[in-house]
Chain A
Amino acid sequence: MDFRLTPEQQMLKDSARDFLADHCSSDFVRQMEQDRRGFTSELWAGMAELGWMGLLIPEEYGGIGWGLTELVVMAEEMGRACLPGPFLPTTLGALALAQAGNEAQKQEILPAVVSGEAVLTLAYLEAGCAVYDPLFQAATARKQDGAWLLEGGKLFVPDAEASHWILLCARTSGSLRDQEGISLFLAPRAARGLELRPLKTIAGDKQFEVSLKEVALPPDALVGEAGQGWPLLEQLLMTGALAKCGEMVGGAAKVLEITADYAKERVQFGSPIGRFQAVQHHCANMLMDLESSRFITRKAAWSMGQERPNPMLVAAAKAWVSEAYRRVVSLGHQIGAATAYIVEHDMTLFSRRAKAAELAFGDAAYHYGQVAQRLGL
């Protein structure tokens, strides 16, 4: 057992923190919430220069070929800085291609992802489904005259407008919630019949509704085998959930720093409020939530790279961290009080993102359901 980062992981983390301190101030984050694209080319180019988008991409396509442990360690820094932009959707899109794409797709797109030229996203959720349910795939894809014709819609697609390529999930056979019959397609964002409608979100991130009206894609747009996309999608969603857990851990760490500093400085009744037991107990709860979240996230990520991975740990992590981070920001607001409720205060960045991250890739309720299933209930 060893809870320490390796020297390489520590270096990665340190350089991410330095870069984000220079290029991603909270003023910049607030600005990007108002910006239509939500990030800048300079920021993206800087991230590419550090090799971030190649984190999970194999070396033969120009990436670093690291694993999920490194991804969550990086994500902690991104969450701490509230990094805007399409890092995670691009990483997941690239992972899909690296895992299941054909050689031409890999050759064309993966090096462009690494260099920062290609932005990707993943479209899998749909309108008309009242809860988070990735098996709900009503959009269809059928073969016609040698081409794939996609019809339907996708919802909650991050950074679709900034993307060059969209990984689209559609059903090629089976009925609504069947695992069998789900397929993944690689579509250019500019494909005819593919239209975007921006959503306005709690965290000011850039999510879209994607409608598909007779979108024609060439036969080689299929990623992996027709109808066999579910295991791949499931793996992408677990990766996304872990990365979100990492982000939440980083955000929680920063929120606790802000809160503990404030509790030491703010004087009421002639004493720093951090001397009062009520405040100390809130802070202790925050520290327990933070550290437990960090350990379960890292353990789950580590487990997925082992010979016998334990996917239940991923669901456990997403369930636990989603709720823990929400508790942390709630207590941070309670201690920061009116001051932290003002829009210029950084706390408001974290509390809104906490909700967005909780909802991304399934909230606690969804993941408790996953755990119950894996317990055999």
Chain B
Amino acid sequence: MNFGYTDEEERFRQELAVFLDKHLTEEIARQNWEDKGVGPEAREFSRKLAAYGFLGMGWPEEYGGKGLPPAYDFILLDELGKRWGAHVPLDVGYTMVGHTILRRGSEAMKKEFLPKIVGGEIEFCLGYTEPNAGSDLAAMMMRAEDKGDHFLISGQKTFNTECHYADYHWLAARTDFSPQGTGYKGVSLFIVDMDAPGVTVRPLWTMSGERTNEVYYDEVKVPRERLVGEKNKGFYYMMEALGSERNQVFVPSRLRPVLNMLLAYAQETRYQDRPLSKDPVVRRQLARAAVELEVAEVVADHSRWLEALELPMTHQPEMTKVMVSELEQRLVNAGMRILGPYGQLEEGSPWAPLGGRIEWYYLHSFMTTIGAGTSEIGRNVIAQRGLGLPRG
């Protein structure tokens, strides 16, 4: 049993910390965190990360990586998270799509996309959810007709975040319309240029000020080489990738800055001649959050460790997802209670405490138990895969 890091891993962490403290500005961190959306600064930071050798640690050397264990990429995510970075700037490609290309893509596809993903140059957006296929994702209806050398795709996607700045759509669409092809069986994955004729992106603004999108396809021609792996296997590839995606997207360390901010606030803010931190209720709330964060970290570490050793992952990444997202909600709720009436003040308002960050995070936190699968679906998965309870 060992819960620590090797000397090499620690050395990498320290070098990375020095780099991030210098180059990861608040502006970039916030572009990263979706509330501002990736702009030129975040893209430049992405290329710099790669140039300094901090991207691609766990990727194969033939595609521009360093061939090291996945632990290094997790350290990168942890260190970004501690600094409000949340994830690498172009994270859909790097933490999600790229791994499936590596596993299932043709050699030509790997050569075309992986070096650019590892180099921090290109970004993807996920094209899964549809108006009538949310939690029941296998009900998707987007049509991709096989025309031999290309597919002709029509239909609508929704809540596709990042599509307004991504270079490519990672699109799931139905390719089998026979009675055998219903549900998860007849779905395929494609890589589509975002500027392909017939693709229209329209904004949907969320209550925390982040942008997500509706994406319309009107007879979009997608070359056959952009079909990922085998036809009609797309849903299987999506599920196969899910565990690793959860491990990389639900990073407990990103709650550290929130907790630290609240700890400092409680110590510096006085009421009735003593700091708020002497109030028993405030103490309990902050201690509880700190305990939950320790717990979430070791739960996430376990799931990551399974992934690193290529051991079977069943319910563990889902557990990480549910626990980290619900902890986030409890933490910012505690924060709002501690801030009292000042909690309602937005960034830029007179008297806004902590730069309005808790107010923003509070609004954002409504999404965390929904996005990438609701907590309820998560619990079904945990009960069914973790305990063998019967499917509905």
Contacts and interface: CB of A to CB of B under 8 A. Distances in A.
Contacts of B388: 260, 264
Interface string A308-343: 000011011001100000000000000000000000
A189 B3 CA distance: 41
A302 B1 contact: yes
Interface in B279-335: 282-284, 286-288, 290-292, 294-296, 298-299, 301-302, 305, 308, 315-316, 319, 322-323
Contacts of A277: 376, 379-380, 392
A3 B282 CA distance: 34
Given A2-B305, A277-B376, A376-B267, A260 B294 contact: no
- Residue from the set A1, A9, A292, A315 with the largest chain B CB neighbour count within 10 Å: A1
A3 B3 CA distance: 7
A302 B389 contact: no
A369 B287 CA distance: 7
Contact of A284 (B282, B287, B383): B383
Contacts of B299: 288, 291-292, 295
B2 interface: yes
Contacts of A275: 389-392
A292 B308 CA distance: 19
Nearest to B292: A320
Interface residues of B, number: 48
A interface, how many residues as a size bin? 35 or more
Nearest to A310: B294
Given A303-B3, A377-B267, A274 B390 contact: yes
B379 A316 contact: no
Given A263-B389, A292-B298, A302-B2, A287 B291 contact: no
B387 A260 contact: yes
Contacts of B298: 292, 295-296, 299
Interface string B362-392: 0000000000000010111011101111111
B277 A264 contact: no
Given A284-B383, A288-B382, A1 B287 contact: no
A359 B106 CA distance: 59
Contacts of B71: 1
Contacts of B378: 284
B140 to A, nearest CB: 22
B249 interface: no
Interface string A268-285: 000110110101110111
A74 B303 CA distance: 24
A139 B315 CA distance: 52
Contact of A298 (B1, B284, B295): B1
Contacts of B292: 320
Contacts of B287: 319, 368-369, 371-372, 375, 377
Contacts of A298: 1, 3
A283 B389 contact: yes
A291 B322 CA distance: 13
A287 B315 contact: yes
A300 B319 CA distance: 20
A316 B3 contact: no
Contacts of A274: 383, 389-390
Given A264-B390, A316-B291, A377-B266, A283 B383 contact: yes
A365 B299 CA distance: 23
B3 A302 contact: yes
Given A6-B1, A377-B263, A316 B386 contact: no
A162 to B, nearest CB: 33
A183 interface: no
A200 interface: no
Contacts of B319: 287-288, 291-292
Contacts of B301: 1, 295
A4 B302 CA distance: 10
B179 interface: no
A176 interface: no
B291 A371 contact: yes
B374 to A, nearest CB: 11
B305 A1 contact: yes
Interface in B45-90: 71
Contacts of A319: 287-288, 291
Contacts of B391: 275
Nearest to B284: A368
Contact of A288 (B286, B308, B323): B323
A372 B389 CA distance: 39
Question: Closest 7 A-B residue pairs measured CB to CB?
Answer: A280-B383, A284-B379, A284-B382, A274-B389, A368-B287, A371-B287, A372-B287
8 contacts: A260-B387, A275-B389, A277-B392, A287-B386, A291-B302, A368-B287, A375-B286, A377-B282
